[in-house]
Amino acid sequence: MAAAGEPPDQPGDAITASERKAAGLPRREFLRSGLGAAGAAVLGPGIDPAAAAESQPNLPPNVPEWTRNLGDGVASRPYGVPSRFENGVIRRTVSWLTPTDTTAVSFAPLQDLYGVVTPSGLAFERYHAGAPTIDPAAHRLMIHGLVERPRLLTVADVMRFPSVTRTAFIECAANGSTEWRGAQMPGLQFTHGMLSCSEWTGVALSTLLNEVGVKAGAEWILAEGADAAAMSRSVPLAKALDDALVVYAQNGERLRPEQGYPLRLLLPGWEGNINVKWLRRLKLGDQPWNGREETDRYTDLMPDGLARQFTWVMEAKSVITFPCPEKPLAAPGSYEVSGLAWSGNGKISRVDVSFDGGNNWRSASLQAPVQSKCLTRFRIDWHWPGTGALLQSRAIDETGYVQPTITQLRAVRGVNSIYHNNAIQTWRVSPSGQVENVQLA
């Protein structure tokens, strides 16, 4: 409250009248003092705060227009949406990469995300025949084959079983597929954006298998989706009994249609396509089914002409998300370099960062909690002098596996592969602060 004879405290002032009096400063002097220090950072060097306040009436010491008017009421937003000033933070597609909209992929905007959880509306999409519109009341999950008690479960039946919640990443096996022969894509969203991390809620698949009873000789499960492609994959029974889930919720709400509503399979740490969406059938058998998606697709062509099959685990990988091509550096000075690391083998134990193309490395800080088969945020301070730099990150997981260079990968895999490119990413920073995707020989 203002003292007698003083002007009243005003909402939006840089400081209240009572605080100014306690500081022993006249009103205008205090405002000038505050903006003298902070204004240089906010407005930039050489900009007069008074002139800026005149030309930009929403800047301090003025009271901005949104403080002088009532905001929107709760009834105007029955389902929350992002601010209109964030309307550029969206999934994006590459027209030449997928032939039609229903056999497409959209990339998550990793450069605009914080922490490790991807908002449901920004999680990357991959379709083989579009996203079906499924009435959950008419949907069933059939469990049959080598089981004692075949079951046809409604979604409500599934949701009656004890629930499990865990955070896990899902990465498309083709993430980074365009980079095998050389640096090609113009930004982080397109080199690494087939990656998302969510909090998932569902039922342990082992619980459902215990309900139906697994017969002797069962070693594999065929998981099939209800989309027009009848997308299916063979899953080892051992993985199903380990940490697999049948999920119905993502990030605290029911699955989005593009993420498999009303039910999907979650196999933490394994390539995205085997996490079958719109799950309608689980059939137990004694051998893999060798369907189209595990013979003609999702195999790794080696230099000798043979193809590796059933390479499910997504091995340790990392990428710097700031700076990156979409988020260049504004001016020389101190920055916090940040990025993401993950491994299908378990927890990330360390991330090293290099500013000179891998000649020297520094260990980054890992943001807690560090969870198994989950994205981990890493951070490291860097003073950029305004010269060229080559930024890299290198992840090491709890098994001791070290993320390889692209040269190391090519020495084993050649250049004809599509999937499982977990090579170290290099960003070249120019003296202007612009960032470019490059590869080092």
Whichever domain contains 281, its CATH number is 3.90.420.10
- Looking at the fold, whether 329 and 416 belong to one and the same domain comes out as yes
- Looking at the fold, whether 47 and 155 belong to one and the same domain comes out as no
Give the position of tokens 């999907």.
264
- Looking at the fold, whether 364 and 423 belong to one and the same domain comes out as yes
Query: What backbone phi and psi angles, to 5 degrees, belong to 420?
Result: 60, 45
Residue 94 covered by a domain: no
Both tokens of residue 150?
A: 């075949």
Residue 2 covered by a domain: no
The per-residue pLDDT for 25 is 40
Residue 43 covered by a domain: yes
Tens digit of pLDDT for each residue in 230-249?
999 999 999 999 999 999 99
- Looking at the fold, whether 353 and 240 belong to one and the same domain comes out as no
- Looking at the fold, whether 143 and 276 belong to one and the same domain comes out as yes
The per-residue pLDDT for 15 is 38
Structural domains counted in the chain: 3
The per-residue pLDDT for 48 is 67
Give the position of tokens 């027209």.
95
- Looking at the fold, whether 360 and 387 belong to one and the same domain comes out as yes
DSSP secondary structure code for residue 107 in this structure:
B
Tell me the residue range of the domain where 216 lies: 101-308
Angle at 172 between CA 373 and CA 174, to 5 degrees: 130
- Looking at the fold, whether 271 and 417 belong to one and the same domain comes out as no
**CATH number, domain with residue 424:** 2.60.40.650
- Looking at the fold, whether 191 and 144 belong to one and the same domain comes out as yes
| Alpha-carbon dihedral sign for residues 283, 288, 289, 291 | positive
CA count, 13 A, side-chain hemisphere, 43: 23
Residue 149 covered by a domain: yes
Residue 330 covered by a domain: yes
Residue 10 covered by a domain: no
**Which of 247, 278, 308 is the last residue before a domain boundary?**
308
- Looking at the fold, whether 396 and 278 belong to one and the same domain comes out as no
Residue 260 covered by a domain: yes
Return the H-helix or E-strand segment holding 285.
strand 279-285
Residue 172 covered by a domain: yes
- Looking at the fold, whether 281 and 332 belong to one and the same domain comes out as no
**Which of 267, 286, 308 is the last residue before a domain boundary?**
308
3-class SS of residue 211: helix
- Looking at the fold, whether 139 and 209 belong to one and the same domain comes out as yes
- Looking at the fold, whether 284 and 326 belong to one and the same domain comes out as no
257 burial via Cβ count (<10 Å: 0-12, 13-18, 19+): middle
Burial 261-293 (b: 16+ CB within 10 A, else e): bbbbbbbbbbbbbbbbbbbbbbbbbeebbebeb
In whole angstroms, give the CA distance from residue 392 to residue 405: 10
**Which of 308, 342, 357 is the last residue before a domain boundary?**
308
Of the candidates 341, 387, 385, the residue with the CA atom closest to the CA atom of residue 366: 341
DSSP secondary structure code for residue 183 in this structure:
-
Residue stretches of the chain with pLDDT short of 70:
1-50, 52-53
